[in-house]
Structure 1
Amino acid sequence: MMNFIRLTPEAHARAVETRRWQEEKVAQFASMTNESLAANAKFYARQMEPVRFAPGEPIYDATMWHVILPELIRRLDNKA
C-alpha cells in the first residue's frame, strides 16, 4: 500500500505552479532554433554559480559543466 503525504492547500498550489512552470519551460526551449538554444544556454550558464569542481577533476558535475555543456553549445553554434 502506498502512503501519500498530504499537502496543505498552499503547498499543493505551489507544486501545481512549479509543474506548470516546468512544462512551459520545456516547451519553450524545445521549440527554439539551435541558434536560440545555444544563446540561451550561454546566457543561463553565465548566470549560474560555477560548480565546486575544477576542470579535469573526475567528477560527474565537473565533466558536465566543463566538458559536456561547452561541447553541446559549440555544436549548436556551429549548426546555426
Structure 2
Amino acid sequence: MIDGGRMVPAWIKRIFGGCRSGTPFCDQTVQTGSFNYSFSAKSKNTENVVVLWNAVDTANRFAAQFQEIWQRASPL
C-alpha cells in the first residue's frame, strides 16, 4: 500500500475469505460503519458512520480483535 508517497506494510488474513473490516479505534473512541476514507466515500457513495465517544470497553474489544487478526495474518 502507498500512503503519501511512502510504502506502508500490508498484511492479509485468509480465514474469512472476503471479510473486510475498517474500524478505526483509538484509546476511548471507536468509529465504525461503511465509510472508508476514500474520495468516492466522501463525494459519491451513500455511506454511514457511527462514532462512539468515551467507549473504553468497546475500544479495548476492537483492539483485542485487531491483535488476534494481526497475529493470524501474513505479509503480502
Q: Which structure: greater strand fraction?
A: 2
Q: Which structure: greater helix fraction?
A: 1
TM-score when normalising by structure 1: 0.32
User: Which is bigger in relative contact order (C-alpha 8 A, separation at least 6)?
Assistant: 2
TM-score when normalising by structure 2: 0.33
Structure 1 or 2, whichever has the larger Rg, is: 1
